[in-house]
Structure 1
């Protein structure tokens, strides 16, 4: 029973139409599911991924009309997006510059070439050279050439003031391995934890930053990160979290229809999710037309008319 990698990462936008334009236009990702936050159906939940809507490629956004994030520790601070090779990073550097996207220079971090950038709301992202390892599923309708398209998520970087409490959960509860460390910006020590077979699609980087204020979530922040498990391991993970509920309170089983989830906070307050690979986003609409209509899971479908009336117009979203 083992985590196999990053499943998805969910962030916050206060400008969903602009968000859609950036992630499908500038970044060339595919909108694979246009649905609602199942806990607050007045808000959209937008899922961007690769051409096949593969687990591990989903970067998702809650549509919360909130003020900007106050940056700090106790938070996820940067989301890695994998591309194949230095040539792709050079291509992306030119594209970001031409679109006037705030970005840094290509540099090496933890032994990999990296290009940091931000969206218009300050969402901190990085393009990571993954060497072309593993499967990739390009989207034929993307504005980005297939060879330069984003291949998936990872690594994910989070900030904590001290590592010991988080380390206990990552190692003992989640079965991660601390495999190395490196010095980040301002000589910040960053610990690298590996999941499953490892590699950039299966890494969590923990920066130790005791001098920072506590972050306040808002637009441009990350809401949570989810880790992958095979469908058949879900019950065992639910039992595992239940067995430590006095030390690590958790949600218990939550059926999101497109996958099944378990939620808990690590000791520094960062929200983690464990999610199954299946059944996937084609459970309620053809794979060829994913994201082209408002999709509601069966338990919300009887409320479609009410939900559609309550949603804010998103005229630029197909």
Structure 2
């Protein structure tokens, strides 16, 4: 079951392989400009397109499975995902090759699924992705009125080398065919080992670049240390500008993720640190740099000695703080409003 357009070219290709002559049937742009398409629809607003391929990638322990489960339950129930992103109610199919039946049951119960939740699944059946499997999934989706199909995880559906661009392009074409039938396709994938902290989180995803190239959307998932917080960064979206990175909170017995808010830029965090250090100079006027560094760290500043020292130097250059001789080759730090009167008169 493929799209009518793909079927047409498939027939031409098969005829060409039989006759040794391939007829290429092009279309006029003017016809495309007059064609009417249904309005743009999202399975999850701004995150998962209703007719596209989305990849969620992250390291082990980054809550990927919990994330897709909330998405599945909320989409099936027509509720906002993470309490923030509206969803379009539709049936969901989960093709699980990771968790197994018992863990699926336990976690879906925790995430609020009920007997009335329109989620269908297979678990650890071992099928590999090919055109036969694509047709079977598309047929089942049509019969069960399913709009979102979730694959957990990418590596379990193929035996090929993930770094082989040709093999990955062929594999991703299978997922593309499913999207062409009108399905939202969500694939979970793993990150490379030992590459956390890349300036572009998309580069942390394992395998050939053809995997990312074939996706319509990509969401990178990074857990904040071993905390309850996870940061989601959409690195690719073919339909809209990527939303700002945002953080979620998920504790052990939670029934859903808590939306914390949009992540701050490096400049925002730096300015907040400068403000924190200015406040410290105001609280402890007349301390040396060494004393200030020790006191600011004691007060819980999130940064090392060099970071505090560099910030103090920047504040001095911009005259947000004043640095005055303190005797015995030492210097004392003050706010302009707190500096000794003798220094002001100088």
TM-score range, shorter chain: under 0.3
Indicate the structure with greater helix content: 2
Larger Rg belongs to = 2
- Using CA pairs under 8 Å that are at least 6 residues apart, name the structure with larger relative contact order, 1 or 2: 1
